[in-house]
Amino acid sequence: MGSEQTRLEPYFRNGMLYLPERTANLLVGAGLDASVGRAAVSGLRLDDAAALAALRAAVAALLAQVEPNNPVHAALASAETQFMLTGLPARCDG
């Protein structure tokens, strides 16, 4: 139960994208519309392009505000999170 409360990464379940409440609150603080944040906690359809675009923009804004060594940055900048928000695999820079 404790790991559920500290989890920051989005996750898929039953064909929907979910954000932990803590992450949604952080993203609302970074400019995400509160209604999109609430919807993401309850589950977003993967074809909701407007909500996903808003999430991507808020994640980018939040990442610009936090230090790279911050756990929030690590969770939201991960290849898995970026895949969940874009549907595209992470680019390899090597």
Residue 70 three-state SS:
coil
Whole-model pTM? 0.85
Supply the range of the domain harboring residue 28: 2-86
Tokens of 64: 């610009």
Q: Per-residue confidence of the chain (94 residues) as pLDDT tens digits?
A: 445 557 899 999 999 999 999 999 999 999 999 999 999 999 999 999 999 999 999 999 999 999 999 999 999 999 999 888 887 776 655 4
In a domain, 91, yes or no: no
In a domain, 34, yes or no: yes
In a domain, 67, yes or no: yes
Residue 87 DSSP code: S
Q: Count the domains in the chain.
A: 1
Would residue 69 be called left, alpha or beta, if left means φ above 0 and alpha means ψ between -120 and 50 degrees?
Answer: alpha
The predicted structure's pLDDT at residue 94: 45
The predicted structure's pLDDT at residue 85: 87
The predicted structure's pLDDT at residue 5: 56
In a domain, 31, yes or no: yes
In a domain, 93, yes or no: no
* Distance, CA of 30 to CA of 24 (rounded, Å): 10
In a domain, 94, yes or no: no
Confirm if 75 and 81 have CB atoms less than 8 A apart: yes
Q: Alpha helix locations (H) across 1-94?
A: 2-6, 21-29, 34-42, 49-65, 71-76, 79-86
In a domain, 74, yes or no: yes
The predicted structure's pLDDT at residue 2: 46
